[in-house]
Amino acid sequence: MPTGDLYDYRLVHSMRYLKSPLFPVFRRLGATSFLWYNHILHAVDFEGQTKDQEYWAIRNGATLWDVGVERPVEIDGPGGFALMDLLTPRDMRKCAIGQCKYTLICDENGCVVNDPVVLRLGENRFWLCPSDSDVHLWAKGVAVGAGLRATVKLADVYPVQVQGPKSPDILLALVGDRIKTLRYYWWMEAEFPGRIPVIITRTGWTGEVGYEVFCLDNTRVEEMVTLILARGKPLGLIPAGPNHARRIEAGILNNQSDMDLTTNLYELGLEWQIEPKQRFIGKEALERIRRDGIKRRLVGFEVDGEPAQHEFEGPWVVYKDGTSVGRASAFVYSPTLKKNIGLAMIKIEYTAPGQRIEVQRLPGEPRHKAAVVTLPFIDPKKEIPKRRLDASTRS
């Protein structure tokens, strides 16, 4: 019988876990641990490197991540626009060719199927860079059920993220001055030295200036990564894993932990996604929720005490005056705020900033005193990632 902690177990391999073309590349760069995301292995930790080092590289230099797990779902065909517009509360007419949108995909209950960044590649052609759920099955099911003339497939493309204040200089060294004109949430085609074809978006999961780079030739991903490292290292770039501290500070949500098929857009504070339009999946449900109000909402919280671990194994229970009032889905140490911060879905009556709550990992363990705070923790206007890089750019 095991005598240790309930959570002290090993995770083991399965043939079902896919390896993208980036797997061996990041393995050779020193990635020592991986997790599972969208059926694909995802590099997390790097030999001899702490999450604190990675955090300050994101804030002051740059980091390079394997986000092959965001393999795009490609929508195409004559009914491509109709399908994309049906799938989301956002008005996709406002997404020009060349533009990207952070796009909630809701089910018929107004709850979260996925929250991809969508690239509009053409009149009817879109890439959805998904978080962790089989949103391609949802989109394809809707298309087949509705008889739309749209195709939905997983593209054979695996992006990386280059994030941090030095990322513009790194991309500039690789594709030239044009990168300065790439605005926040737009994309461009480019070539890396040696004619490596790429698509670059100005998007990311950090709240810092950053890019995602999609190599369009899988035989050349290692060359692409080598070039980014060669140009980036002198500017402070390191290969790294996604940084929860930075994304939680920025109030960026993580599908399947902060939200899922049981949470609706109002509970998540994402009602700004709902734009006036005639028809989309979940419209009636969301109108009903708006009318009736919500019973719980996502909040931030702050906790004093020892720095928390970077990888959170939850959910934790949230208490108010000894009674359970919700669950915490994130808990991490913020090196900028110098305190532990987290995200929790709690009863609406306790969501006002300043409310005192408690959070607990397992029954019988200590309860940490916490205070509810407004999201995001830093940079509410996203001034950091939106920073203009070229004064001549149209606003």
| Cβ pair 162, 62 in contact under 8 A | yes
| Cβ pair 112, 260 in contact under 8 A | yes
User: Smallest distance from the beta carbon of 130 to a second copy, in angstroms?
Assistant: 11
**Residue from 103, 254, 263, 273 that binds a second copy (CB under 8 A)?**
254
Amino acid letter, residue 223: E
Residue whose structure tokens are 């461009």: 188
Q: Using the rule CB under 8 A, is 329 a contact of a second copy?
A: yes
User: Smallest distance from the beta carbon of 46 to a second copy, in angstroms?
Assistant: 10
Q: Which pair of tokens denotes residue 264? A: 């609706």
**Residue from 22, 34, 88, 228 that binds a second copy (CB under 8 A)?**
34
136 or 202: whose CB is closer to a second copy?
A: 136
Question: How many other CB atoms sit within 10 Å of the CB of residue 107?
Answer: 16
User: Smallest distance from the beta carbon of 242 to a second copy, in angstroms?
Assistant: 10
Q: Using the rule CB under 8 A, is 56 a contact of a second copy?
A: no
Q: Using the rule CB under 8 A, is 146 a contact of a second copy?
A: yes
| Of 26-34, 181-189, 232-240, 345-353: span binding a second copy (CB under 8 A) | 26-34
Q: How many CA atoms lie within 13 A of 260 on its CB side?
A: 9
Q: Using the rule CB under 8 A, is 39 a contact of a second copy?
A: yes
Q: Using the rule CB under 8 A, is 27 a contact of a second copy?
A: yes
Q: Using the rule CB under 8 A, is 169 a contact of a second copy?
A: no
143 or 289: whose CB is closer to a second copy?
A: 143
| Cβ pair 199, 212 in contact under 8 A | no
Residue 323 and residue 381: Cα distance in Å, rounded? 35
Residue 155 and residue 72: Cα distance in Å, rounded? 6
Angle between helices 135-146 and 80-87 (to 10 degrees): 120
- The mark string for 99-118 relative to a second copy (x by CB under 8 A, - otherwise) is --------xx----x-----
User: Smallest distance from the beta carbon of 315 to a second copy, in angstroms?
Assistant: 7
Residue 288 and residue 285: Cα distance in Å, rounded? 5
Q: Using the rule CB under 8 A, is 24 a contact of a second copy?
A: yes
**Beta strands 151-154 and 73-76, pairing class:** antiparallel
Q: Using the rule CB under 8 A, is 67 a contact of a second copy?
A: no
| Cβ pair 200, 175 in contact under 8 A | yes
Smallest Cα–Cα separation from 266: which of 240, 242, 289, 232?
A: 289
Q: Is 212 annotated as a binding residue?
A: yes
Q: Which residues are annotated as a binding site?
A: 212
Binding site for a second copy (CB under 8 A): 1-2, 6, 9-17, 24, 27-28, 30-37, 39, 44-45, 47, 107-108, 113, 132-135, 137-148, 154, 254-257, 261, 281, 311-315, 329-330
